[in-house]
Structure 1
């Protein structure tokens, strides 16, 4: 007869995926940076379009 035994530990019960927590509102600084980045990207795309128009040969 063994002097000790091992307890069988069952795996943790599977839980249903919980609903994602509501996103925390972004900070003021993050919002400002986003606005600057959007404007900069918009200006860059406008400049790129303008330079393409300039490159086209006039007929």
Structure 2
């Protein structure tokens, strides 16, 4: 899937670049590239997901206790 930005007749180069950067950030392209830069073993991926789940759960419980 390609990221496409259509330049309007009144758009300057800077505006088009700004739109492109925003679109790339919204599509989360850079994070996907960083994740795929190196191979990760499936067991490591599962461990990271599990740890992230535990962190989110702990934060939610602490927030619920505070009010």
Structure-1-length-normalised TM-score = 0.50
- More helix, by proportion: 2
Q: Report the structure number with the largest CA radius of gyration.
A: 1
Higher relative contact order structure (alpha carbons within 8 Å, sequence separation ≥ 6): 2
